[in-house]
Amino acid sequence: MNTSDKPGIPGLLHVDHVALTVPDLDAAVAFYTDVIGGVELYRLGPFDAREMPLMPDGKDWCEAHVNVADARLMIAMLQIGPTIMLELFQYDRPTTRNTTPPQNCDLGGHHIAFKVANLEAAVEYLVKHDVRVMSGPIQMDDGPCAGLQVRYFLDPWGNQLELVQYERQAFEANSPVSIYR
């Protein structure tokens, strides 16, 4: 299907990256490279709203561009596996920001799922690296996710992550969507 025939954002191709905010960029880059297996691509910043000219409407640069007034931030971009780029943000300002990530049930709650070939081996590896792994596995035996196994875990700052293992997704038998295309 030509992308111009689809409803939604014109020309949308795919998700480019996901992002997490962390309290310590160096420590987060170390965790996501050393434990998860990502590769650091680059770093940017610091960007400091107090050092940038105001926008024509009087807003500072950070408020106008990332919706955070008076921000000071740094960014690192990582590649994780062949399909995910993970952008890590460290905000030093504002000091009034939340310092606890949302739970899955909270507005803005989120998680990143990593597909693995062997869920049990991946969990054992995380446990050996002192990663907090939640109970499980969760096994889907029927329905659109039949054959799927998952196990949630947390990064050192409480961001929720997930391991998933499957050969094929059951929903693909009756769907035009394929994760293999």
Domain ranges in the chain are 1-99, 101-181
The answer to pTM > 0.75 is: yes
**Percentage, residues of the chain above pLDDT 70:** 92
Is the C-alpha dihedral spanning 75, 39, 85, 118 positive or negative? negative
Dist CA 68 CA 23 (whole Å): 16
CATH superfamily membership of 101-181: 2,3-Dihydroxybiphenyl 1,2-Dioxygenase, domain 1 (3.10.180.10)
**Of 8, 119, 22, which Cα lies nearest the Cα of 74?**
22
Pick the range with the lowest mean pLDDT from 12-21, 34-43, 171-180.
171-180
- Architecture per CATH, domain 1-99, reads as Roll (3.10)
Q: Which of 62, 80, 81 is nearest to 71 (CA)?
A: 62
pLDDT per position as a tens digit, 119-175: 999 999 999 999 999 999 999 988 888 889 999 999 999 999 999 999 876 676 677
Tell me the per-residue pLDDT of 30-58, one tens digit each, with 9 for 90 and over.
999 999 999 999 999 999 999 999 999 99
Q: Which helix (H) or strand (E) holds 113?
A: strand 112-115
Helix (H) or strand (E) holding 114: strand 112-115
- Contacts of residue 98, defined as CB under 8 A and 6 or more positions apart, other chains included, come to none
Q: What are the tokens at 72?
A: 């000071």
